[in-house]
Structure 1
């Protein structure tokens, strides 16, 4: 990890979190935390820019006070709602073959083969590079400094609706901060939550937030599948409130204090007193009954996710399931998830001083991901970010080098012809997951 201080912003349905972390000699330490109740979001989406902006300001101020640092720029998480995963490939012809490939060449091939391959209503957030090729030599991670006549790229574009990006940008700007980077949340989470082998061989991530639950599949270090279910921990609280006729705050306290996600594991002789609307005296309720309410909602969420995962056979991935997010703190949720998914489930809890709660996973993963970026990925991220800032897809460099661009349907033919040049390594990669997740 690169030494430095990083500040992240996680805009969630129930709370807005800011993490300030310092990386020194490969170790990351959280030195400041801010958390403010969300008032301008619904189901993970911004519905009130002013309210959200005010909450961001308050959360940042808290993190500044605790860290003793002034925050000017933020690494901002982008929710997976509406994410489109688009494979891309193409090449540019380098006319000045005696000159080394530089940043401008990389930018040109990325712009012409990846950034211009997305629908006009989408904004490119990230380009995940599988490999570069220089004159047919493959498996190159960073082509800069090499000499060649032809520069190719194989990768995957992550794009989201422009409205989502605009609203997030507007809220951050109104709060008085600049954006250092924009990162799709499941992409960042994988870097923190999963091991090297789990990212390589394939693992499912489930993030149960307040207003929505995001399931994603990671394979070959890349995001291959995402689905967002518009239910989360907040729905569990509302169910308790509605069934028991108690306030939302009481319901939240019950969920946290006596809640259990697997009702069969709760003793039937344990009771709790609950304040009920319209009654002077509290009523006595079995804790097992509260657990039944919690289990019913979580079971519904997991069943929907299982149906989505079964369609792409993702539950057969070797890494099985990693569960995190605020609702992952409910006792018994791992056992319930294993009962439904019928595979091993592990609950991830961040292991950083002061934030050892699964509700902070997203915020921590953003700073962790940014610290792990290598030079070529930083360059590519800045190319995407500069396009977002200018809202323009025009190529910024001269057209002195010829460019060949392929749309997604043309790419299918191009991949076949490229296989002959590249050998079986790329063929195996294509067969393994492009065929599964992009059908």
Structure 2
């Protein structure tokens, strides 16, 4: 199968790197063809801090995904996170030269490109420009301006900004691993695409992706992204606390957290004890599960409160900005026992765990539908949706290799399409003319 037929998402996380290969099936669902994962060694809190180790980890994950899918991976869509990410609101407008023409994609693109030229702080770069609402000649609350008449096109934007050096480091790791960089997208946006339904985005929802190094937040209301934030704490901080509090090694602390950890201390009885083997002939350590969950509880409360501060910053307490669908938790950290109940208790908002199975084909591996892979599945969806429309160099080479007959057949198809567009255009022009005549006679 050639590269054009399938897409690849690459999630460079703090604890793991996941490469996921897939394609869209005939029902519009994502069919996963192969997955590869490796331990992430060169990333700290979502930011690359060791290029060599990160390249090795990427190559390991990609090689495993290639082996599982039997396909050659060339281009990937990669996610970006880290505490250097910030977002801001911005309004901008363009004045159109001819208000008699309808607003088209070019006008919207021109307006978006204008925002990309904003002057940022030294060392910062705009990653995403997300239009929220449009205004045409002062008339507001327009979601889709294309096809409308107007002279002044205005919009509110949600602008996501990150450090140039961090983005470049990610790009360098991808290129050094022998891969092409298809697109860079913000990780909370990728996770949101994978686990949220359109109804939730309309009603108002906060997606909280608890990863190893960072906790990512994306808030949607009326189907539009309203707020994003990256909080520099995640599951690794909880493991670190267990390691310090129980005087054990990191590997044991991680296992303890996964097997016996709970975010709600009242759950465990005082006599529930777990024994941990001592190092090199030392006595085993006995830890009560109540103490373990007290350590976890203290740190989780801190993370959830930080998230809640961001939700309040967005303006959740205003009636108009209320998040009716509450909070959706995803990411590896969301698998912690009783976390859902604790989040509901602290925020008073409805909470559910988000699984990325909404957009996956029915026969997908159960493991992939785990919250752990939410970002990777979201990046794969982004790769599938944003397949380059133009003709790439690879496709040109492929075209040269195809037979003359195929080219002729393709040409006739293109001609037919052109004719169809021409016919549609002339129908539209006739309609416009009739409409103008009607207005003239009405006067």
- TM-score, normalised on structure 1? 0.76
Q: 1:86 to 1:272 in 2, by over 3 A?
A: same
1:274 aligns with 2:276: yes
Q: CA deviation at 1:276?
A: 3.7
Q: Residue 212 of structure 1: CA displacement?
A: 1.6
The aligned counterpart of 1:301 is 303
Tell me which of 369, 379, 382 is aligned to 1:366.
379
Q: Following the alignment from structure 1 to structure 2, what is the Cα–Cα distance between the partners of residues 34 and 177?
A: 15
Aligned match for 1:89, one of 89, 92, 99: 92
| Greater Cα radius of gyration, structure 1 or 2 | 2
Quote the Cα distance in structure 2 between the aligned partners of 1:276 and 1:214: 36
Counterpart for residue 425 of structure 1: none
Spell out, residue by residue over 1:134-182, the C-alpha distance to the aligned partner (whole angstroms, 9 max, x if none): 7888847374xx6968472524232222122111111111111111121
Q: How far apart, in 2, do the equivalents of 1:266 and 1:301 lie?
A: 22
Matching of residues 232-381 of structure 1 within 5 Å: 232-277=234-279, 280-314=282-316, 316-351=322-357, 352-353=364-365, 354-372=367-385
CA contact (8 A) 1:323 1:345 kept: yes
Match of 2:184 among 182, 185, 193: 182
1:50 is displaced (CA, Å) by 1.8
> For the Cα contact (< 8 Å) 1:101–1:147, is it kept in 2?
yes
SS at match of 2:269: coil
Distance 1:102 1:343, change over 3 A: closer
Distance apart, 1:9 and its partner CA: 1.0
In 1, are the aligned partners of 2:242 and 2:295 still within 8 Å (CA)?
yes
Alignment of 1:156-167 (within 5 A): 156=157, 157-167=159-169
CA shift in 2, pair 1:36/1:129, >3 Å: same
Correspondence for 1:127 among 103, 118, 129: 129
- Give the deviation of 1:259 after TM superposition: 1.6
Is residue 2:23 matched to residue 1:17?
no
SS in 2 for 1:322: strand
Tell me, yes or no, if the aligned pair for 2:87 and 2:229 is still in contact at 8 Å: no
What CA distance in whole angstroms lies between the structure 2 residues aligned with 1:44 and 1:292?
27
Question: CA 1:105–1:283 in 2, change beyond 3 Å: closer, same or farther?
Answer: closer
**C-alpha distance in 1, partners of 2:171/2:334?**
29
Q: Partners in 2 of 1:131 and 1:328 — Cα distance?
A: 32
SS of 2:275's equivalent in the other structure is strand
Deviation at 1:124, TM superposition (A): 2.3
In the TM superposition, residue 102 of structure 1 has moved relative to its aligned partner by 6.6
C-alpha spacing 1:108/1:308, structure 2 compared with 1 (3 Å): closer
Give the structure-2-normalised TM-score.
Answer: 0.76
Residue-by-residue CA offset, 1:176-197 (whole Å, 9 max, x unaligned): 1111121111222222222212
2:410 equivalent in structure 1: none
Structure 2: tracts of 5 or more residues without a match: 358-363, 390-443
Alpha carbon RMSD of aligned pairs, Å?
2.9
* Alpha carbons of structure 1 residues 96 and 263: separation in structure 2 relative to 1, 3 Å: closer
8 Å Cα contact 2:214/2:234 also seen in 1: yes
Equivalent position SS for 2:117: helix
Map of 1:7 onto structure 2: 8
Structure-2 change in CA distance of 1:5 and 1:141 (3 Å): farther
Gap regions ≥5 residues in structure 1: 380-439
2:117 match: 116
Residue 222 (structure 2) aligned to one of 213, 220, 223:
220
Secondary structure of the residue that 1:183 maps to in structure 2?
Answer: strand
1:237-269 per-residue CA deviation (whole Å, 9 max, x = no partner) reads 111112222111111111112222212112333
Q: 1:52-100 CA deviation, whole Å, 9 max, x = no partner?
A: 12211111111111111111111111216322233232114336977x8
Rounded Cα–Cα distance in structure 2 between residues aligned with 1:291 and 1:77: 32
Report the equivalent of 2:200. Answer: 198
